[in-house]
Amino acid sequence: MPSKSRAKTRAYVLIETSAGKTKAVKTGLTKLKVGAKGIVNLDAVTGPYDFIAVVEGATIDAIGQLVTDGIGMIDGVTRTTTCVAVSV
């Protein structure tokens, strides 16, 4: 069983952008892509959202900080919805 210090919290962040800002937002999101902690995968998608980012952090608070202080501060991001992954 892995120790709690190595446990990661995973979430899916649904990201909406303002018109004409999608490419600039992608550039900003790519800069946040730091591997094991932060954005671990980023996909542009069709539908009501423009991107879905898979993020990981040590805690829910770390993910919250990434979303509010990182993703949410990128010029052109108009809304995020964070879905924390749970075990069932």
Neighbours of 79 (CB within 10 A): 12
Compute CA 19 distance to the chain's CA centroid, rounded to the nearest angstrom.
20
Contact, 56 vs 9, CB < 8 A? yes
Domains of the chain and any CATH numbers: 8-84 (3.30.70.920)
pLDDT level of residue 36 (50, 70, 90 thresholds): low
> Per DSSP, which regions of the chain are E strands?
9-17, 38-44, 51-57, 77-84
Contact, 62 vs 71, CB < 8 A? no
* pLDDT score, position 32: 80
Report DSSP state, residue 4.
G
Query: Mean pLDDT, to the nearest integer, of 40-54?
Result: 95
